[in-house]
Amino acid sequence: MKKLSAYLMLFLATGLSVSAQKKLSQKPNYVEWEENPKVHPVPPEYAKEPAIMLLYDVSLDYRFEGRRTNMYYTKHKLVKVLDDRGIEGNNKIKIPVGRYTRVPLIKARTILPDGKVKDIAKDMIKVTKNEYGQNTIVIAMEGVEKNAEIELLIKAINPMYYFGAEQFQFSVPIAEARFSMSFPKELVFEEKGYNGFPTVRDTIIHNRRKINIVQNDIPAYVPEKYSYNDLYTKRVEYKLVRFVDENENDTKPLQGANEIASGIYNDYIKLNEKEKKAVNKYLTELGVAGAGNELEKIKKIENGIKNNIALYADVEGDDNALDSMINKKSATATGYIRLFAACFAQAGVDFELGMAGDRRERKYDAKFENWGNMENQVFYFPHHKKFLSPTNLYCRYPIVDQEILTSKGVFCAIKPGEEPKGITTSAIADIIAIAPLPATESVENLVANVSLNKDMEARVDATYTYSGYTATGLRQAIATARPEQKKELMMRLTPLAEKPDQILKHTVANDGFENYYSNKPLEVFTSVNTPDMITKSGSEYLMKIGSVIGHQISLYGKEPRRTPVDLDYPHMVNRIITVDIPKGYKILNPERLNMHADFVDKDVNPVAAFSSSYGIKTDKVNGDKLVVYVKEYYKQIHYSLLEFEHYRRVVNTAADFSAVTLALGKKK
C-alpha cells in the first residue's frame, strides 16, 4: 500500500519562483479557457498519430496565506483525437487527488469537428478511490469522435510541498508543453529537467521568483521491452533548497534528508507511556520474549501483525492510537507502521525506519536530491542488513516491495526513546541503498515429463517450484483467488494449457506467506493434455519442445536501443524436461537443443547466461528418453546501454529455445 506521509506536505510561511521561456511563433496563443473555442488544424507531421496534445500546461503558484503557505496547482490540457485508439485513450479522464488537496474548479468539454461544444455536466464527474485508497476524480467524456478536441482545466489547492515532479512526455506527441512556478522571493526553489526537458534558474519579477519553461514538439514516447519507461520520459523536478530573510541574506540550506528523518521519528517512532504498556501486553500475546533471538522476534512480530490486524485506508476514531488499534484489530497505514515500530522498539530489536521511492519512476540523483516520491515505508535491521515492508501484507521478511529494490531511502537513525537534537546541528538520517536478495535466493525450477499416447498425443506432468521473489506474485494470486478462479490461475502457471479442461490435475503446496522466512519454495504440480504440442508431417512427428518453458520475449529488431534494461529482481531458472520417446522412434535433430549465450564481468563471473543441452538414455524395452537441461541466470537487475548487446544475446537465445521443434522419426 502506498501513502504520502503528512510530513512531506509541510506548511511553510514563505514562497518561491523561477523563469525561462522559449516559444515558437507559429504556435497558437492558447488562453486558459476560450469562451468560443475554435477547432485546430492537424499539423501534417502528426497526421498518423492516434492523438496529439495541442497543449499541456502545468503551473504552480505558491502563496502566503495566514500562517501557512499553499500551493495553487493548475493543469490545462487540450487533446485532439485522430483515430479510434485516440478516442479510446482519451474518452475517460482519471485524476488522483491528495488527501490534503481541495479542488475548487474542474472544467471539461468536447469540441466537435464542426465546432459544436459539449460541456461535461457535473453529474458526469465522479469521485472514487484507486487501488491505494486515494481519492480519484473520474470524468466520462461525451461525444468524442475523430478530429474532436478534448479540453480539461483543473485547479487545486495543496499544502506546500518541499519536493515535486511533473511528467512531460506521453504515448502521444505534445505540440506545446508549458511549466511554470511562481513563489515569494523569500523562498528559493531549484528546478531540474530530465531526458531533454530544460533546466532553468529563477528570475525575480515584482518581488516574486518565477520559472517559466516552454518546450515545443515533444515526440510520443515509444516504450521498450525490459525497461521502466517512465524513468526515461521528459520530466521536471523541483525542490525547496533554502530560505532568504527580510535582509535578503541566504539562510542555511534546508537539510531535506534530516528533515524527513525527524518527521519519521515524530510520526512513527515516538511513543507515550500508555502506548508502551499496550504494546508490551501485545508482545506477550505474540509470544515475543525480551531475551529472545532478534530474528525470531522480527518474524513473530511481522506475522502476528499482518495475520491479525486488518489494514484499511480509513478507520473510525483515533486511527493512530496504538491501544485502540490493538483492541479493534484494525489500523490505517500510518497506524500499522507505528505498531511495527513500537513492537520492535519494546522488544529490543535494533531497527531503522525509512522512506524509499519507486525506482520505476525516478532514480536517486546525488546532485539533485528529490525525496518527493518516497511513498514506501521500509524497516532496516542493521545486524542482519536486510529489510521488511510493513504494509505489504503479501510479503514477509526479507522480501520487500520490488519497486524499491536498489533505491536509496532516507532512514531515521535516532533510536527509540531518543529525542532529536535538531536537524541543523546533528545528522539524524542514514541514506541506505535497498539491496535485493542475490539471484541464488530467487529461483524458479521446473521438472517436466512429456509422455505420448498411442495416438502420439502429448501429456505433460510438470512440477514448478518458486523461491524468493519468484514466488511473490504467485503466492498473492493464490491467496486472493476465488475457488472458481483456481483453474484459470493454473492456466497462467502452465503455458501449455490453452483451455481449462486440458488441466487434468493440479496441486499447490507451501503457499503460506510464513514460508518466506525459511525460503521454502512454493510448489505447483500440474498434469496437462497438450494435443497441439505434436503435429504430423509426412512420416515424421514434430514436437514443440520449446513450448514447455513457455513464451519468451525476444529483443530482435534493427532499431537502436534507447533505454537501459531494468528487471524486477535478480533470479535464476533451472529446467529439466524428460521426453518419453515411443518405442521404435528416435529424435532426428537433437542438436537443435544445444544453445549457449553468456555475459561475464571483468572477473569472468557470469552476469547473465542461458544454456541448454541434452542427453539420451537408451531403453530397448520401453523406448528411449530424451533429457533436456535448461538454465538461465540474471545476476543484475540493471543493464546499461553499453551492456545491452550482451544482455540481448542471452535473452534472444532463450527466445530461440522456446521456438525449438524436434522431429521424431522411426528408427531404421
Q: What is the CATH number of the domain that holds 274?
A: 3.10.620.30
How many domains does one find in the chain? 3
Print the domain residue range for 142.
Answer: 6-243
Mean of pLDDT over the chain: 88
Contact 521, 444 (CB under 8 A): no
pLDDT surpasses 50 at 10: no
Predicted confidence at residue 426, as pLDDT, reads 53
Q: Distance (Å, rounded) from C-alpha 308 to C-alpha 316?
A: 18
Assign 3 a pLDDT band (cuts: 50, 70, 90).
very low
Q: Distance (Å, rounded) from C-alpha 231 to C-alpha 611?
A: 32
pLDDT surpasses 70 at 215: yes
Strands 386-388 vs 330-331: parallel, antiparallel or unpaired: unpaired
Buried (b) or exposed (e) across 238-277, using 16+ Cβ within 10 A?
bbbbebbeeeeeeeeebebbbbbbbbbbebbbbbeeebbe
Encoded amino acid at 424, one letter: T
8/419: higher pLDDT: 419
Give the residue from 191, 194, 205, 200 showing the smallest Cα distance to 241: 191
Predicted confidence at residue 5, as pLDDT, reads 38
Q: Give pLDDT tens digits for 403-449.
A: 999 999 999 988 777 766 554 445 688 999 999 999 999 999 999 99
Contact 122, 73 (CB under 8 A): no
pLDDT surpasses 80 at 1: no
Number of Cβ atoms within 10 Å of the Cβ of 220: 16
Residues 37, 83 share a domain: yes
Predicted confidence at residue 22, as pLDDT, reads 37
Predicted confidence at residue 415, as pLDDT, reads 79
What integer is the mean pLDDT of 149-177?
Answer: 93
SS3 157: strand
pLDDT surpasses 50 at 13: no
CATH number, position 157: 2.60.40.3140
Contact 575, 564 (CB under 8 A): no
3-state helix, strand, coil in the chain (%, to 5): 25, 35, 40
Predicted confidence at residue 2, as pLDDT, reads 41
- E strand map for 120-234: 125-129, 135-140, 149-159, 163-167, 174-184, 187-194, 203-205, 208-218
Residues 548, 474 share a domain: yes
- Per DSSP, the residues of 435-501 read PPPPGGGSEEEEEEEEEE-TT--EEEEEEEEE-GGGGHHHHHHHHH--GGGHHHHHHHH-TT-SSGG
Predicted confidence at residue 370, as pLDDT, reads 86
C-alpha cell at 331: 489500523
C-alpha cell at 366: 546525488
What one-character DSSP code corresponds to residue 46?
Answer: G
Give the residue from 412, 313, 402 showing the smallest Cα distance to 358: 402
Predicted confidence at residue 317, as pLDDT, reads 54
Contact 97, 137 (CB under 8 A): yes
Residues 110, 46 share a domain: yes
- Give the CA diameter of the chain: 99
Strands 534-537 vs 540-543: parallel, antiparallel or unpaired: antiparallel
Contact 635, 607 (CB under 8 A): yes
* β-bridge mates for residue 387, sequence order: 380
Q: Give pLDDT tens digits for 298-347.
A: 999 999 999 999 988 766 555 578 988 899 898 889 999 999 999 999 99
- In the chain, count of helices (H) and strands (E)? 9, 35
Last residue of a domain, which of 194, 214, 243? Answer: 243
List the strands of the sheet with 235-243, edge to edge.
163-167, 235-243, 187-194
Q: Give pLDDT tens digits for 183-192.
A: 998 899 999 9
What one-character DSSP code corresponds to residue 300?
Answer: H
Residues 118, 45 share a domain: yes
Q: Is 472 exposed, middle or buried (0-12, 13-18, 19+ CB in 10 A)?
A: buried
What integer is the mean pLDDT of 88-95?
Answer: 87
Residues 425, 462 share a domain: no
Assign 162 a pLDDT band (cuts: 50, 70, 90).
confident
What one-character DSSP code corresponds to residue 435?
Answer: P
What integer is the mean pLDDT of 641-647?
Answer: 95
Q: Where are the alpha helices (DSSP H) in 163-315?
A: 256-264, 273-286, 294-308
Residues 462, 408 share a domain: no
Residues 629, 506 share a domain: yes
Which of these ranges, 21-35, 91-105, 359-373, 494-508, has the smallest mean pLDDT? 21-35
Q: Distance (Å, rounded) from C-alpha 516 to C-alpha 538?
A: 51
Any domain includes 477:
yes
Contact 40, 31 (CB under 8 A): no
What integer is the mean pLDDT of 282-286?
Answer: 94
Residues 649, 552 share a domain: yes
Q: Distance (Å, rounded) from C-alpha 371 to C-alpha 411?
A: 12
Any domain includes 251:
no
CA dihedral defined by 147, 149, 150, 154, rounded to 10 degrees?
160
Residues 278, 237 share a domain: no
Any domain includes 660:
yes
Contact 186, 243 (CB under 8 A): yes
Any domain includes 250:
no
Any domain includes 249:
no
Residues 265, 226 share a domain: no
Last residue of a domain, which of 195, 220, 243? Answer: 243
C-alpha cell at 364: 536517486
Predicted confidence at residue 19, as pLDDT, reads 33
Contact 394, 475 (CB under 8 A): yes
Any domain includes 62:
yes
Residue percentage of the chain with pLDDT more than 90 = 64
Q: Give pLDDT tens digits for 225-282.
A: 999 999 999 999 999 988 876 655 556 556 578 888 888 999 999 988 999 999 999 9
Any domain includes 346:
yes
Residues 593, 464 share a domain: yes
What one-character DSSP code corresponds to residue 244?
Answer: B
Residue percentage of the chain with pLDDT more than 70 = 91
Any domain includes 1:
no
Residues 230, 270 share a domain: no
Last residue of a domain, which of 214, 243, 272? Answer: 243
Q: Distance (Å, rounded) from C-alpha 20 to C-alpha 212?
A: 5
Rg (CA), the chain: 29
Number of Cβ atoms within 10 Å of the Cβ of 551: 11
Residues in the chain: 668
Assign 6 a pLDDT band (cuts: 50, 70, 90).
very low
131-140, 354-363, 587-596: range with highest mean pLDDT: 587-596
